[in-house]
Amino acid sequence: MTDTGPRLTPLAMLERLVAFDTESQKSNLALIDFVAGYLDAWGVPHRRLPNRAGDKAALFATIGPLRDGGVVLSGHTDVVPVAGQDWTGDPFRLRLADGRLYGRGAVDMKGFCALCLALVPDMLAADLATPIHLLLSYDEETTCLGVVDVIARFGVDLPRPGAVIVGEPTGLDVADAHKSVFTYATTVHGHEAHSAKPMLGANAVMAAADLVTGLNRIADAMMARGDASGRFDPPYTTVHVGTIRGGTARNILPKSCSFEWEFRGLPDLDLQEIPTRFAALADTVTRERLNRFGPFGRIETVEDAAVPGLAPAPGSPAERLALRLAGRNRTITVPYATEAGRFQRAGLPTIVCGPGSIDQAHQPDEFITLAAFEAGEAFLRGLIRECAAGWVPG
């Protein structure tokens, strides 16, 4: 191997990545351009997979032989917004203080991405017998769709991996399960009339109230059903209404009312159960409330995001590998959703394991400790040794 590329320490790499403002509503192309140039300098083959609009892209790179059976290290490049948060410094300038690295994305999850990229020269020097693949995605914080195009290419024109490690912050515990997240926007279309003459229209707000009450009943049923595995906190599928808007004046039947809602399902939940129950509820409310006095209204629901959960797969190649690298003897669950479920649905053994704590994510002065960052580096160096020795999924 010829050292032709720039050697950046993990800390220097993190500083570079944090400096890119890749909030989910913005483009990540400047960051992807930087990473592509860095990999080009080291002679690492990679492929860019843009979204339909062309303003974002995922990047897939391979260090080692171009063959099936390798290990994917997956991290997202997008971060949550900083607007309205009270930061004590520039969110997009890495700051070291009191053993902590502050910056937007420092823990969620540019820290993991920085470690993977900074260790590329070490991966090359190790002459890997088993390939390590790097996957940088987009839109994880909104839809988790940024990995879909890459996954579709596995086994077609990209090597099909034998294990996937999604490096979300788990404190390097190995998470083998998380809930799904499905989000919806429901709009109730009524008909305006004087509030003294309700028979002349349809009250969209009162119909929406019936729907929200129905979601409360579904939420109560999910809570009563509980979690047979006993591993999740909270130990049940949750149903939540986050926003509601409607009406123009106290004495006018509201023409429109909209609300946003979600459910976070346990891995064994039938993902059609809650949408089917809500659709039946909407039919009843349309008939009995909106159209009581005539064909005045309708209810429209749009699915905004559908992120599958991660189900336990005891003894999978990904689980055994990560437990060994992390020095753990048991798996955990995590309360947040990740891209891991999309990999698993494609038949790929997948776990979630990365440095730092999710408790520091999404808030002002987000940080990862130096100790956690260094532990993440040790984890990846262990993976390099495993792949140099010819790790195979089995």
Q: What are the tens digits of pLDDT across the range 210-229?
A: 999 999 999 999 999 999 99
- Whether residue 253 contacts residue 201, with contact meaning beta carbons closer than 8 Å, is answered with yes
**DSSP reduced 3-state for 176:** strand
Confidence at residue 90, expressed as pLDDT on a 0 to 100 scale: 98
Instruction: For residue 145, give the 3-state DSSP assignment.
Output: coil
Provide the pLDDT for residue 5.
78
Taking residues 246-254, report their average pLDDT. Answer: 97
The DSSP secondary-structure symbol of 133 reads E
| Token pair belonging to 385 | 């040794």
Domains and CATH numbers, the chain: 10-177+309-388 (3.40.630.10), 186-307 (3.30.70.360)
Planar angle of CA 34, 37, 41, nearest 5 degrees: 140
- What one-character-per-residue DSSP string does 324-384 give? HHHT-SSEEEESS--THHHHHHTT--EEE--SS-GGGTTSTT-EEEHHHHHHHHHHHHHHH
Q: What is the pLDDT of residue 3?
A: 57
Residue 66 contacts residue 159 (beta carbons within 8 Å): yes
Portion of the chain with pLDDT greater than 70, in percent: 99
pLDDT per position as a tens digit, 350-378: 999 999 999 999 999 999 999 999 999 99
Residue 79 vs residues 103, 137, 150, 361: alpha-carbon distances, Å: 11, 11, 20, 10
3 state SS of 160 = coil
Convert the pLDDT of each residue in 299-342 to its tens digit.
999 999 999 999 999 999 999 999 999 999 999 999 899 999 99
Condensed to tens digits (0 to 9), the pLDDT of residues 115-157 reads 999 999 999 999 999 999 999 999 999 999 999 999 999 999 9
Concerning whether 339 is annotated as a catalytic residue, the answer is no
- State residue 1's pLDDT score: 45
| Predicted pLDDT of residue 170 | 98
Find out whether 376 and 112 touch, Cβ atoms under 8 Å.
Answer: yes
Residue 389: burial class (beta carbons within 10 Å; 0-12, 13-18, 19+): exposed
Residue entry with tokens 């502050």: 102
Q: Is 78 a catalytic residue?
A: yes
Mean of the per-residue pLDDT values of the chain: 97
Query: Is residue 268's pLDDT more than 50?
Result: yes
Annotated catalytic residue, options 108, 139, 140, 319: 140
In angstroms, the CA 181 to CA 308 distance is 7
Range 27-49 average pLDDT: 98
pLDDT band at 394; cut points 50, 70, 90: confident
Residue 2 has pLDDT above 60, yes or no: no
**For 2-24, what is the mean pLDDT?**
91
Query: Rounded distance, CA 210 to CA 189, Å?
Result: 14
Q: Which two tokens stand for residue 129?
A: 């017998």
What residue has token string 């955990």? 332
Helix count and strand count (H, E) for the chain: 10, 15
DSSP string, 226-295: --TTS--SSSS-EEEEEEEEE-S-TTB--SEEEEEEEEEE-TTS-TTHHHHHHHHHHHHHIIIIITSSSS
Distances (CA, A) of 147 to 53, 194, 223, 327: 15, 51, 32, 28
Give per-residue pLDDT as tens, 59-114.
Answer: 999 999 999 999 999 999 999 999 999 999 999 999 999 999 999 999 999 999 99
Is the Cβ–Cβ distance between 299 and 187 less than 8 Å?
Answer: yes
Closest to 111 (Cα-Cα) out of 193, 171, 174: 171
Catalytic choice (78, 176, 262, 386) = 78
**For residue 4, pLDDT beyond 80:** no
What mean pLDDT do residues 166-185 have? 98
> Please, what's the b/e burial string for 239-255 (b: 16 or more CB within 10 A of its CB; e: otherwise)?
bebeebebbeeeeebbb
Closest CA to 136 of 51, 54, 78, 64: 78
Q: Which residue has the tokens 């409330």?
A: 289
